[in-house]
Chains A and B, each alone.
Chain A
Amino acid sequence: MTEISNVVDGLKPSGIRDFFDLVMSMDDVISLGVGEPDFETPWHIREAAIQSIEDGFTNYTSNKGMPELRESLATHLEAEHSLDYDPEDEMLITTGVSEGMDLAMRALINPGDEVIIPTPCYVSYNPTAKMAGGRVKNLNTEPDNFQLDPRKLEEKITDNTKILVLNYPANPTGATLDEQTLVEIGRLVREHDLIAISDEIYSHLTYEGEHVPLPTLKGLRERTVFLNGFSKSCAMTGMRIAYAAGPEKIISAMNKIHQYTMLCAPTTSQFAAVEATRHGAREIESMKGEYKRRRNLVHNRLNEMGLDCPLPEGAFYAFPSIEATGMEPDEFCRQLLTEEKVAAVPGTAFGPGGEKHIRISYATGFKLLRKAMDKMESFLRDQTPIEPDQAREGQPS
């Protein structure tokens, strides 16, 4: 008898585990592998958390989360996007977007339901769908420059398809979708009677044009579980706090699971989130400006050194192709680490479409980023006697 359930036994271990162990065994590594901001949580947000502890708020809150947090989030969504959610019945405070994603999958999936997940994608989506009993159908967006092509999406949809997972701006590619594409995708969701789970955690970090939340599109509010939070925009990842907004029926089903598994999101973090929602806007803007500068630097340097990289339009990742080097991502990252002490994440960790890529996080100070780019350039010079111009030929355009 094996003790472990078949579902869990069948899950692939995280693709970056071995690499992680190797990185941890080395000193003085410049890491471009970090999926969280390098800024500190703004002091007034930390202070709100500390104050709540001093005031003795260390109890449970309502399952759905503190009313003042849900209300301030509803006000924020209304003001920023004209999104109208009832804080009482249509919002749920979760322990990070990861919990929200898990709750939504478990609340919606019946065994055998198909879940379409465009890839490369965040590492948790595929396992979460599988653990909920869903059948994962990945749609590789690499050939389309990581854009989700509505025609290819339609080809994937069958009678058994129930859910479409979206994450724009995207981890690991930094891709965003333009409004026209979103409208097309929205039409498919409606016509095929699907539900979209939209992880928009990087929405505040959109550098080209305005971010369009999925539920703002015609007829999508009733078909979307909208997931968002302040982890990335206010640099508070470890606080594990986020929210879900959606139709009452789905939110109430998610809350059913949430009340048995999580009970409520951490109270201290909820106080921090109230402060972030009400007064975080200024810091978000200044961090965004800094990320954009870094993005420009990284994008420019990567292409200059011969690693083909489309302009990332959001989040804080670049996802260049390393095909020109003739190396596999795992080998590339391992050698870059041992020879230059620069850590990047192999694209293979993010599912189909990452086989020729690496993920570079630019959530690292400008100076260090410049140094890392210099080191990568010297690494490439040693590895490949290919001229940058030649390297770019033979790339998928």
Chain B
Amino acid sequence: MERGKIIKGSLTTVILQLLKNNGKMYGYEMTKAVREGSQGSMAITEAALYPALHKLEEEGMVVTETAMVDGRLRKYYKLSRQGSKESVSQLQMLEERMAALKKILKYQLKNG
């Protein structure tokens, strides 16, 4: 199993949460935030990040704005109102799943 990659299914929650905590972010900043936030134990690849961001943009969860930074155009992503609501429910769902996973990992058959 690839240790470094974020578990599929939680990527959207991670993106929404990052945007909720940091306001607006650009793509590279997100990959850096995941790497630094997990102290190098996890990473998001561009191949996973951008399709997820595009999907969120299409669903109206995030909106984009562009700005000239260091002589090049930078695309910033930020949460829409719908995305803010979604980030709360997604985080709650992820926490529930993590709690369930912890229980499964500790589970022992009574008569096993």
A and B are interacting partners: no
Q: Which positions in A face B, CB cutoff 8 Å?
A: none
Q: Which positions in B face A, CB cutoff 8 Å?
A: none
